[in-house]
Amino acid sequence: MNKAEKVQFAIKKLEEFYPTIPIPLDHKDPYTLLIAVLLSAQSTDVRVNQITPKLFAKADNPTDMIKLSVDEIREIIKPVGLSPMKSKGIHGLSHILLEKHNGNVPQSFEDLEALPAVGHKTASVVMAQAFGVPAFPVDTHIQRLMYRWGFSNGKNVVQTERDAKRLFPKEKWNDLHLQIIWYGREHCPARGWDVSKDIITQTIGRKSVLKKYGY
């Protein structure tokens, strides 16, 4: 198989595994998605989904969020980790949304990435899932699978994102980003990986990776 054939094989199998794609983070609108994605940094979606109902019961919009103190936000979100930075970011970006964007989440990468504690990955998730703009956020699962499948060198997320956007059709980016995450979690994890149950990597994976895991 050449690389183009491997890409098409991966797309086909991912669509078979995930014809309908669950959204990992619970949210109801762009603002709650933005907050949930910010909270997910160096945490798990499961943990975030346990915490956000408590936070959003008190404040699910910028107006109510700035009525809370940074310490109050920090106390609620403490279980997800990095709470000092995240609580300041949530409070600060809520102020900016009210002051500069009429309380709305902006629909551009530039404006999103200008918000406190919002990096490129968070902005990409919001643009893709809230506004349907093609994006390819790279998390640890995508970084791992793009390397194992021989689609990227795995050096950094910037290069992996470039490679993903180059290899995959733009109209499929938003679906594939989530499909690869789910596949990574369920079939190609970082730990406890059973290669015999991972049909995509068996078929198209790097020989060096397969050899390392005795396959």
Q: What angle do CA 122, 133, 129 make, to 5 degrees?
A: 55
Q: Are 45 and 37 in contact (CB under 8 A)?
A: no
- Cα–Cα distance, 5 to 16 (Å, whole number): 17
- Of all residues in the chain, what percent are helix, strand and coil, respectively (each to 5)? 65, 0, 35
- Cα–Cα distance, 138 to 121 (Å, whole number): 7
End-to-end CA separation in angstroms for the chain: 18
Task: Supply φ then ψ for residue 151, to 5 degrees.
Answer: -95, -15
On the 0-12 / 13-18 / 19+ scale of CB atoms within 10 A, 86 is buried
* pLDDT for res 213: 84
Judged against a pLDDT cut of 90, whether residue 207 lies above it is answered with yes
Point out the residues that are catalytic: 121, 139
Please tell me the pTM assigned to this model.
0.93
* pLDDT for res 214: 82
Tens-place pLDDT, residues 68-92 = 999 999 999 999 999 999 999 999 9
Domains with residue ranges and CATH for the chain:
3-21+137-212 (1.10.1670.10), 30-131 (1.10.340.30)
Tokens 């933005």 sit at which residue? Answer: 34
